[in-house]
Amino acid sequence: MGQLREPEAVIAIVDDDPSVQRGLQRLIRSAGWKAETFASAQEFLARSRVESPNCVLLDLQLPGLSGLDIQKRMAEVGLEIPIVFLTGHGNIPASVQAMKAGAVQFLTKPADEQELLQAIEEAVERDRRMRQQHVELSQLRGRYESLTPREQEVMQQVISGMLNKQIAAELNITEDTVKFHRGHIMRKMRADSFADLVRMAENLGIPSDRRSAQT
């Protein structure tokens, strides 16, 4: 208790009950995080677009949209903030749905302090990892963008498991060239191995079907 966690991690609290808001806010502050409170989904979504918090404590019952709706909406708009549900009405279907939809934790009010803080920590960690992944992915994308169109083409063929010969035949270039391109690709993509490359391609969402590759 009292250890400083990730400095300046911001936890969003979405609950329309002032007692609950104040309590949670104080608790989060006591744990060393920053808290921001919102009384409705709209307020929260609006703010999150500007600057997204590291974690959100979400009540199920809110005026207008319910908590689950917000979860869905966030997913739709690509807000990947980890959610910890904190609600007065716990029922199993809701909790299952929430967890399936990717919530970090589903807690009922009044929540055990330890459980709550732990969940928030987990969420913040997840958020940190996600942000990290995003960074990595954009870097990866950058590297891919740096490939020439031909190189991109070749890469696609390569990851589909085609042999150099086959690629050469397909693209009407020499095998040597293929190898040449391959080397460039490996280097530019900074792949250590073929498997690595395949993984990167997966991450980038490059299709790896062999349909186009098979004759």
Partner 1 sequence: MKKAAAANVESSERNLAAIIDTIPTLAWTVLPDGSNEFLSKQWEEYTGLTVDESHGWGWQVAFHPEDLPRVMEKWRKMLVSGESDEIETRLRRHDGVYRWFLIRAQAFRDDSGNIVRWYGTSTDIEDRKKAEAALQASERNLAAIINTIPTTVWTTRPDGYCDFLNQVWLDYAGMTPEQAQGWRWAEAIHPDDRKKLVEDWQACLASGTPVDAEARIRRFDSSYRWFLIRGNPLRDESGNIVKWYGTCVEIEDRKRWEQILRARELSWKQIVDNIPGLVATTGAMGEVEFLNRQTLEYFGRTNEELKEWALIGAVHPDDLPRLIEVRKKSIETGRIYEVEHRCRRADGVYRWFQVRGLPVRDAENKISAWYFLLTDIEDRKRAEEDLRTRELEARSLLDNMPGFLARLSPDGTTEIHNRPFLQYSGKTLDEIKKWTTSDLIHPDDLVHTIEVFGNGISSGQPFDHEGRLRRSDGIYRWFQGRAVPARNVEGKILHWNVLLTDIEDRKKAEEALQSSERNLRLMISAIPTFIHVLSTDGSVLNVNQAVLEYTGLSLEDVRKEDYRTRIFHPEDVERLREERREALTRAVPFDNEQRVLGKDGKYRWFLIRYNPLLDEQGRIDRWYVAAFDVEDRKKAEEALQSSERNLDVMINTIPAMIHTARPDGYLDYFNRRWLEYLGCSLVDVEGWNWTAWIHPDDVKGIVDKWRACVASGDIFEYETRVRRADGQYRWMIHRKVPLRDEHGNIVRWYGTSLDIEDRKRAEAQVEQAYLRLAEAQRLSKTGSFITDLLVDDHNWSEEAFRIFEFDPATKVTVQKIRDRVHPEDLPYFDSVIASGMQGIDVDFVFRILTSLGAVKHVHGVAHVIEQIAGRPLFIGALQDVTESKLAEEALNRARSELAHVTRVTTLNALTASIAHEVNQPLSGIVSNASASLRFLVGDAPNVEEAREAILDIVRDGKRAGEIITRIRALTKRTAAPREKLDLNETISEVLALIGDEAKRHSVIVRTQFANALSPVAGDRVQLQQVVLNLVMNAIEAMSDVGDRPRELVITTQNVGDCVQATVDDSGVGIASDTVDKIFDSFYTTKTSGMGMGLSISRSILQSHGGRLWAVGKDAPGTMFHFTVPKYREEGAHGPAT
Residue with tokens 């009540």: 59
Helix (H) or strand (E) segment spanning residue 118: helix 113-145
Q: Is 69 in the site for partner 1 (CB under 8 A)?
A: no
Q: Is 115 in the site for partner 1 (CB under 8 A)?
A: no
DSSP string covering 124-187, please?
A: HHHHHHHHHHHHHHHHHHHHHHTS-HHHHHHHHHHHTT--HHHHHHHHT--HHHHHHHHHHHHH
Q: How far apart are CA 151 and CA 160, in angstroms?
A: 14
- Stretch of 72-80, 84-92, 165-173, 182-190 contacting partner 1, by CB under 8 A: 84-92
**Angle in degrees, 0-180, between the axes of helices 175-189 and 149-159, rounded to the nearest 10:** 90
**How many DSSP H helices and E strands does the chain contain?**
9, 5
Q: Which residue in 5, 109, 128, 143 binds partner 1 (CB under 8 A)? A: 109
| Residue 32 or 125 having the CB closest to partner 1 | 32
Q: Is 20 in the site for partner 1 (CB under 8 A)?
A: yes
Q: Is 55 in the site for partner 1 (CB under 8 A)?
A: no
- Stretch of 59-67, 71-79, 151-159, 181-189 contacting partner 1, by CB under 8 A: 59-67
| Residue 22 or 49 having the CB closest to partner 1 | 22
Q: Is 123 in the site for partner 1 (CB under 8 A)?
A: no
| Residue 69 or 196 having the CB closest to partner 1 | 69
Six token digits for residue 1: 């208790």
| Residue 39 or 171 having the CB closest to partner 1 | 39
CA distances (Å), origin 202, targets 23, 129, 182, 198, 207: 44, 19, 17, 6, 7
Q: Is 110 in the site for partner 1 (CB under 8 A)?
A: yes
Q: List contacts with partner 1 (CB under 8 A).
A: 1-2, 16-17, 19-24, 26-31, 61-64, 86, 88-89, 109-111, 113
